[in-house]
């Protein structure tokens, strides 16, 4: 029986790098395994069975002082592992946020470069338009003589 369905490997490069860094530490790997188990239904089933056996076979008599102490200690450790898990989730969010910020900065630089290129293209287009307009004014359309004189072609 599996503890919990395995999460797929992250696709995001920043999360892959973060997982590799986190997996390098034995402490982190142990904490990840414990939080994975503690967050599963298998954990619940084991505890239901354990409490049932403890009470059913009368390991101790009511009010179950030893069981209460064991469960209290377990709760202390589990709350610590919950906080570790939350810290891990915060680290992942921070990695993604940092990566997104780098992407935004790169896109902003690219947009500025595109705006500059657009301005250069506009300047060149304006210059070409002015040159064509001045050339068109200086050279009359074909068939007309310069200065507005009529053509010297014979008419029948």
Digit-coded pLDDT (tens) for 64-112: 999 999 999 999 999 998 898 888 888 888 888 888 999 999 999 999 9
**How confident is the model at residue 151, as a pLDDT?**
52
Instruction: Return d(Cα 57, Cα 87) in angstroms, integer.
Output: 40
Q: What is the mean pLDDT of residues 115-121?
A: 97
CB 58 within 8 A of CB 52: no
**How confident is the model at residue 24, as a pLDDT?**
84
Residue 132, pLDDT above cutoff 60: yes
Instruction: Return d(Cα 70, Cα 20) in angstroms, integer.
Output: 35
pLDDT digits (tens, 9 = 90+) for 15-40: 788 888 877 889 888 888 898 899 89
**How confident is the model at residue 147, as a pLDDT?**
55
CB 151 within 8 A of CB 143: yes
What φ, ψ does residue 102 adopt, rounded to 5°? -60, -40
Residue 10, pLDDT above cutoff 80: no
State the pLDDT confidence band at 114, using cuts at 50, 70 and 90: very high
The residues, any chain, with a CB within 8 Å of residue 81's CB and separated by 6 or more, are: 31, 34, 35, 38
Note the pTM of the prediction, 2 decimals: 0.56
**How confident is the model at residue 134, as a pLDDT?**
85
């Amino acid at each position: 029986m599996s503890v919990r369905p395995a999460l797929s490997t992250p696709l995001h490069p920043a999360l892959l790098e973060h997982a590799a860094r986190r997996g390098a530490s034995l402490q982190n790997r142990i904490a990840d395994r414990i939080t994975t188990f503690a967050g599963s239904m298998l954990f619940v089933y084991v505890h239901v069975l354990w409490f049932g056996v403890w009470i059913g076979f009368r390991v101790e008599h009511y009010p179950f002082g030893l069981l209460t102490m064991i469960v209290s200690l377990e709760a202390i450790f589990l709350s610590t592992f919950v906080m570790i898990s939350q810290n891990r989730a915060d680290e992942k969010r921070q990695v993604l946020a940092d990566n997104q910020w780098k992407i935004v900065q790169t896109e902003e630089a690219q947009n500025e470069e595109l705006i500059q290129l657009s301005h250069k293209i506009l300047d060149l287009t304006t210059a070409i338009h002015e040159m064509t307009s001045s050339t068109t004014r200086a050279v009359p359309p074909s068939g007309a003589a310069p200065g507005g004189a009529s053509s010297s072609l014979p008419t029948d």
